[in-house]
Structure 1
Amino acid sequence: MSFSLDYNTLNNIPKPELPYVEGYEFSVIEYFPPEPQNKPSVLTPNEAAKRVTTDVFTRCLTHNPISGQLGTRCLRLRVHEAIRVGDGKTSQIILVDVISGQLPNSQVVAKLYDPLYYDHANDDVDPFLFVDVEYTRESAAYRYLQGQGQECIPKYYGSYSMDISHSDRQHRTVRLILLEHVTGFTMSALCANIFPEDFRKAVMRKIVDIDSQLYKINLRHRDVCPRNIIIKGAGLDLSELHTKFIDFGHAIIGRSPDPQNGDREKDFLPGLYISPLLRWLKTPGREPICNFDDWVTWDWNEWLFETYQSDIENVTPEMLQKWLPTRARQQYMLKAREFGEPR
């Protein structure tokens, strides 16, 4: 008998069927996660060894998600529609009806951090660590931004925990968050070239402004790209254009690589506005602007300086050193001289 070499189906033991289908009902209880886990989720030698001997479902039964604190709110939910569901996904996203319990809306989005349906053939990532890190980061980011009064995100309805029952009285626990259902389209679902340039410029202006505002209040999204931006009002009336940022699983509250290190964090001037002229200047392969090549068909740096020209006088040498790679500083200086001498 031949056996599968894929760690998702070791010894031909398949994963259970995905439960997150239309009509599926489940109960959740409020759950407060610990502080965000800003650590790598690389596959450890110990977990790699377990992959060789134990099927993925059994490993999931023995891996409890990261511990926090139970709350008191209980909800009963029913899957209304799958938004992004499937094996090999880092998370499962569904639209649910609230059939008992109270939330501001009766229909919300549930994002579930279920390691069972991660791709366990990935040699670089430990799915159990990954979902813990993403869950704690994303829930912390939404709590923080909602507390800051930010309207550029879906409303956050909290973090929850659920138990999924399997045969032989087995069950496993999955963490999730609930969010406002925002109507609209992700940029990645839209064909950029059908929109006129002035519309695309208006979209990019909103994205840059939102990202800069989040950075001003010391949050780095770290995955600003078309799939994580929802556009509402994709007609030609620019007055009805709205954008929302989603997916904060990579987000970090703080500016430095180690926000817990107060001295290092001070080096990044927390709370100070940093111009897009520095953080969005285009150089080969530089993120996040390189993620929007399909949307930007004009001279980006020329437009950037035209749009944020008034920022030039407030850009200091310290900012240049901190936020521009060496190869880009001369490019910035040449452009700045065209629009007004930097300080």
Structure 2
Amino acid sequence: MGGHFMSLSPLRPSLPYVPGWKFTVQSHLPPPPFTATQRQRGYTGQELEDLWQLGPAEFCAQYPPLLGEMGSEKINLEIIDLLKVKEPCNSQTFTVKVNQGNFPPHSGKVVAKLYDPLYYDDADNWKSPCRIQDEKYSRETHAYSVLSEFQGSRIPYMYGSYSLDIPIENSNKVRTVRLILLEYIPGVDMQTAAPSDFDQETRQEIMKNIIEFESTVFFKDIILQDNHPRNIILPKGDPKRTVLIDFADVAFNRRFEDRYFPHPDFLLPGQYISPLLRWRTKKTAFSNWIDWEWRPWLKAQFAHTSSTITPEIREVFGPSSDSEDSDDSD
């Protein structure tokens, strides 16, 4: 049972994503990223009626993804290993073999990430999964574009965005699923990794990298609303390096989706904000990686940014790390 309605899980067909499954995708140009005011607020009455009359699979066919623009490139793929394939889940990810020439342009494995509404987590199933996946796909592809200079270093390469048609069992209809192809980063995510396996110096370097990149992304007016250990990979053989792998829930133009601000520019878009302000409290999600005094360390690492803090910035973002009027953790 989830949200206001019965779970859709018993009505869904089995997941088609198994090793050896072969399929063809076609290049696709995504629609512009959703803004805070475009967010899906709930099923319409007609959508609810269609959902229970058609069932979840044909509902997805009835309400396909936003159009965007189809391209001419077609690629044949075959699933190799499953990374995160389950029902329900916000996305389905697995490595694929690309049966086409010299693709990808960079060596290594390729990850397919699918925004499949049929198997979306319906814990909040008062929202249409079709529109939610439109939102995630449009935002993540746009984020990779804005952050293109960091592809291959701080984030994976994104090789392209695509569309896939999947036949519906016992029907002559197909449902459409959007996806992206990404560089595979061998390593372990920080949620799975044991902090005790890393000495303090290494953990401090990891946290410094996380803070530096998050601050750079924020400078580009992108808010990482899911900046969590599960979305940060520590690459094999280079544990001090961090790679961020999920941008489906970012917010653009420094506009949080669930908070009221008196005007659109309240968070001062376009201005660099020192970590001394935005990271002055120790983030709870990373607390098991941190066994040192947070504020003195933060001040020592980012003292060179203090000159960027203007009275206007301080008024919006509060005291810096050397102030005594805020808690040590969020």
TM-score between both structures, scaled by the size of structure 1? 0.82
Distance (whole Å) between structure 1 residues aligned to residue 94 and residue 120 of structure 2? 16
2:280–2:320 Cα contact (<8 Å) kept: no
Question: What is the CA-CA distance between 1:106 and the residue it aligns to?
Answer: 6.7
- The structure with the greater share of residues assigned to helix is 1
Q: Deviations over 1:25-57 (max 9, x none)?
A: 000110001100123233234244544544222
Question: What is the CA-CA distance between 1:213 and the residue it aligns to?
Answer: 1.4
Distance (whole Å) between structure 2 residues aligned to residue 331 and residue 183 of structure 1? 35
Q: Deviations over 1:179-238 (max 9, x none)?
A: 111111111110123322211111101100111111222222221110110111467xxx
The equivalent residue for 1:100 is 100
Residue type of the alignment partner of 1:199: T
**C-alpha RMSD of the superposition:** 2.6
Distance (whole Å) between structure 1 residues aligned to residue 155 and residue 80 of structure 2? 22
Residue type of the alignment partner of 1:32: L
TM-score between both structures, scaled by the size of structure 2? 0.86
Question: What is the CA-CA distance between 1:245 and the residue it aligns to?
Answer: 0.8
The equivalent residue for 1:128 is 130
Distance (whole Å) between structure 2 residues aligned to residue 309 and residue 244 of structure 1? 25
Distance (whole Å) between structure 1 residues aligned to residue 55 and residue 132 of structure 2? 19
The equivalent residue for 2:234 is 231
Question: Compared with structure 1, are the counterparts of its residues 331 and 139 closer, same or farther at alpha carbon in structure 2 (3 Å cutoff)?
Answer: closer
1:219–1:252 Cα contact (<8 Å) kept: yes
The equivalent residue for 1:293 is 287
The equivalent residue for 1:333 is 323
Distance (whole Å) between structure 2 residues aligned to residue 256 and residue 91 of structure 1? 24
2:295–2:321 Cα contact (<8 Å) kept: no
The equivalent residue for 1:29 is 26
Question: Compared with structure 1, are the counterparts of its residues 313 and 24 closer, same or farther at alpha carbon in structure 2 (3 Å cutoff)?
Answer: same
Question: Compared with structure 1, are the counterparts of its residues 50 and 158 closer, same or farther at alpha carbon in structure 2 (3 Å cutoff)?
Answer: same
Distance (whole Å) between structure 2 residues aligned to residue 88 and residue 149 of structure 1? 29
Residue type of the alignment partner of 2:279: W
Is residue 87 from structure 1 mapped to residue 87 from structure 2 by the alignment?
Answer: yes
1:77–1:99 Cα contact (<8 Å) kept: yes
Matches within 5 A, 1:81-230: 81-100=81-100, 102-104=103-105, 105=107, 107-120=109-122, 122-146=124-148, 151-166=153-168, 167-230=170-233
Is residue 18 from structure 1 mapped to residue 15 from structure 2 by the alignment?
Answer: yes
**Matched residue SS, 1:188:** coil
Distance (whole Å) between structure 2 residues aligned to residue 220 and residue 150 of structure 1? 21
When the two structures are aligned, how many residues end up with a matched partner? 312
Question: What is the CA-CA distance between 1:273 and the residue it aligns to?
Answer: 2.1
Distance (whole Å) between structure 1 residues aligned to residue 212 and residue 235 of structure 2? 16
Judge which range, 122-131 or 197-206, deviates more. Answer: 122-131
2:19–2:82 Cα contact (<8 Å) kept: yes
Amino-acid identity (%): 32
Judge which range, 50-59 or 212-221, deviates more. Answer: 50-59
Judge which range, 313-322 or 180-189, deviates more. Answer: 313-322
Query: Where does structure 1 lack aligned partners over 5 or more consecutive residues?
Result: 284-288, 336-343
1:231–1:241 Cα contact (<8 Å) kept: yes
Distance (whole Å) between structure 1 residues aligned to residue 228 and residue 190 of structure 2? 8
Distance (whole Å) between structure 1 residues aligned to residue 104 and residue 305 of structure 2? 42
The equivalent residue for 2:274 is 275
Question: What is the CA-CA distance between 1:72 and the residue it aligns to?
Answer: 1.7
Residue type of the alignment partner of 2:174: H
Residue type of the alignment partner of 1:279: R
Question: What is the CA-CA distance between 1:323 and the residue it aligns to?
Answer: 1.9
1:234–1:241 Cα contact (<8 Å) kept: no
**Matched residue SS, 2:289:** coil
1:255–1:268 Cα contact (<8 Å) kept: yes
Higher RCO (CA < 8 A, seq sep 6+): 2
Matches within 5 A, 1:254-269: 254-257=253-256, 268-269=267-268
